[in-house]
Amino acid sequence: MSEISDIDRRHMDELTAEVRTTSDKIRGLRRAGYERGDIARYLGIRYQFVYNVDTAPSPKAEQRRATPEAARRGTTVSSQESPESLEPAPNWVWTTIRKGGGIQVPAGFLESMGVAEGDQVQLALDGDIVRVLSRAAAIRAVQELVRRHVPEGVSLVDELLAERRAEAAREEGRYGSMSDVVLDASAVLAVLNGEPGADEVWDHLPGARLSAVNAAEVAAKLVDRGIGAEEAGQTLTRLGARVAPFEEADVVPAAHIRAATRSAGLSLGDRACLILARRLGVPALTADRQWRDLQVDIEVHLIRD
């Protein structure tokens, strides 16, 4: 999957800064010449949603505009029906809590969020206010938290990998509904800090597994950057990663693969991720290039070259 360059990302930020709805952002970016795949990655939404918006007749061509009543019904009416149909959709709507706690969200709201039926959303309780966030918005929220504490240009992934190599050097002389992948701490930090390879990890969240050892590495790295310990721990919950314990049964396998990983300078954190992936029978996602040529019976996927 290709990455969006910093220059293109800044240009896309400028083009969409004053645009309210996701659909209008998609149309504007397409007019600027950006490919659908790049738009989907930039907005953090599905390619199919971008395709549907891009291939649908434009609202101007059809002269259709959502009215407040139409937004509540999730429908549109022709602008020729009445002058009121030219009014923009409202930012608020009254609705009724249904049996079981369900509510109907107007179609206009869903379009602005960039979500459709079947998509996952995150509910966040803020005092007595309930916020509904798309997966992309939820990820952006935790990224913004981390970026407040990490200077521009600093790579948390590179810091972690350097610390792992140092830990491995110190060790020398002292002696898992299942997700389809296990995440290394470097993969989680890439998402939290918006670093290259983050797009490869998003598709597996929420639900991806993370060893408790790697979860501790992530939390420690965030604390090092000035984020409170409790808030650092909550980032994994907000991201949707599922922490799996490093079990007694993992001790011997971790020791067995030490010989195969020693030459690559891998530490206990590396081995904890690999052993969990082997136990669950799924691939391990990492940003650590040192894993590329490991001679182990565990499938490894690099999130960036």
* Start and end residues for every CATH 3.40.50.1010 domain found in the chain: 145-302
Angle value at C-alpha 134, between 218 and 95, nearest 5 degrees: 135
pLDDT score recorded for residue 179: 62
Q: Tokens standing for 139?
A: 């990820």
Beta strand 284-286 pairing with 182-183: parallel
Rounded to two decimals, the pTM is 0.56
pLDDT score recorded for residue 174: 41
Nearest to 210 by CA among 233, 179, 244, 177: 244
Nearest to 182 by CA among 96, 277, 43, 262: 277
Q: How far is CA 132 from CA 83, 116, 123, 205, 207, in A?
A: 32, 13, 5, 17, 19
pLDDT score recorded for residue 171: 59
Q: pLDDT tens for residues 29-62? A: 988 888 888 888 888 888 888 888 888 765 554 4
- First CA to last CA distance, the chain: 11
pLDDT score recorded for residue 180: 84
Q: pLDDT tens for residues 231-241? A: 998 898 899 88
- pLDDT-flagged residues of the chain (< 50): 1, 61-89, 173-178
CA 220/CA 215 separation, integer angstroms: 9
Beta strand 209-211 pairing with 242-244: parallel
Q: Tokens standing for 158?
A: 């590179």
The CATH number of the structural domain formed by 145-302 is 3.40.50.1010
